[in-house]
Amino acid sequence: MIFSAKKICKTCNQDKNLDDFYRKKDSKNGYFSKCKICTAIYYEKNKEEKRKYQIEYKKLNKEKLAIYDKEYHLLNKQKIYDKNKQTKIKNSDKYKSLYCIKSAKKRLKIKSSIPSWADKDKIKEIYDFASEFRSYGISVDVDHIVPLNSKIVNGFHTHENLRVCLSSFNRSKGNKILEILTEQQWHKT
Ligand SMILES: [Zn+2]
């Protein structure tokens, strides 16, 4: 049999070059039956329907997809970590400036939250205490017991409102007020 570099599109019935077809590994001749143009037209026509179908599918299979997501994350932890790291490196300038803005805002917030009666020496003692932990390689943060910018109350930057805690605990706490976190949660971190 002579190899023909041409193929008839089943949709528009035109005799076209093989280059005009997308490749399909598991088909008889290695190409789709629709030509590239017909494929594009087909996708354009069915775009809206496909989108609706995907939304509906996600809604109906929420739990299944969540499990799949979790499994995927567990199995591909390293891959995901590497990819995130690469993105961070690629956008390092963007991240850096974002970090600068964030920490500048935080410093400003802290500055405006120091009341006139605050005991600055005692505040310093707490920060020194944290430094001591860090010198042993323990990652700790100086945490505001009542957050400086919670939705309900604004805490002060005073020694009574400061404490040293593990960084992992601080991150999980977010802006929640400490009183509602139990002793148990503290020990879990
Ligand atoms: Zn065609």
pLDDT greater at residue 96 or residue 126? 126
Q: Regarding beta strands 162-166 and 140-144, do their DSSP bridges make them parallel or antiparallel, or are they unpaired?
A: antiparallel
Q: Could you give the CA distance from residue 6 to residue 74 in angstroms, rounded to a whole number?
A: 47
Ligand 1 centre from 127 Cα, in Å? 71
Ligand 1 centroid–CA 44 distance in Å is: 14
pLDDT bin (cut points 50, 70, 90) of residue 155 is confident
- In the chain, the amino acid numbered 186 is W
Residues lying with their CB under 5 A of ligand 1, a single-atom ion = 9, 11-12, 35, 38
Cα(4) to ligand 1 centroid in Å equals 17
Question: pLDDT tens, 134-152?
Answer: 988 888 889 888 888 777 7
Please tell me the distance between residue 31's alpha carbon and the centre of ligand 1 in angstroms: 13
CA atoms within 13 A on the CB side of 181: 16
Ligand 1 centroid–CA 53 distance in Å is 25
Phi then psi for residue 19, to 5 deg, are -65, -20
The ranges assigned to domains in the chain are 6-60, 117-189
Centre of ligand 1 to C-alpha 27, Å, is: 17
| Ligand 1 center–CA 2 separation, angstroms | 23
Phi then psi dihedrals of residue 25, to 5 deg: -55, -45
Give 23 Cα–ligand 1 centroid separation in angstroms: 14
Please spell the DSSP secondary structure of 93-125, one letter per residue: HHHHHHHHHHHHHHHHHHHHT--TT--HHHHHH
From the number of C-beta atoms within 10 Å of its C-beta (0-12, 13-18, 19+), residue 86 rates as: exposed
Task: List, in sequence order, every beta strand (DSSP E) within 58-182.
Answer: 140-144, 162-166
Indicate the pLDDT class of residue 26, thresholds 50, 70 and 90. confident
Element (H, E) at 35: strand 31-35
Least confident of 42-51, 67-76, 99-108, 176-185: 176-185
pLDDT digits (tens, 9 = 90+) for 41-72: 998 888 888 889 999 999 999 999 999 989 99
How far apart are the CA of 55 and the centre of ligand 1, in A?
29
Going by pLDDT thresholds of 50, 70 and 90, the confidence category of residue 180 is: very low
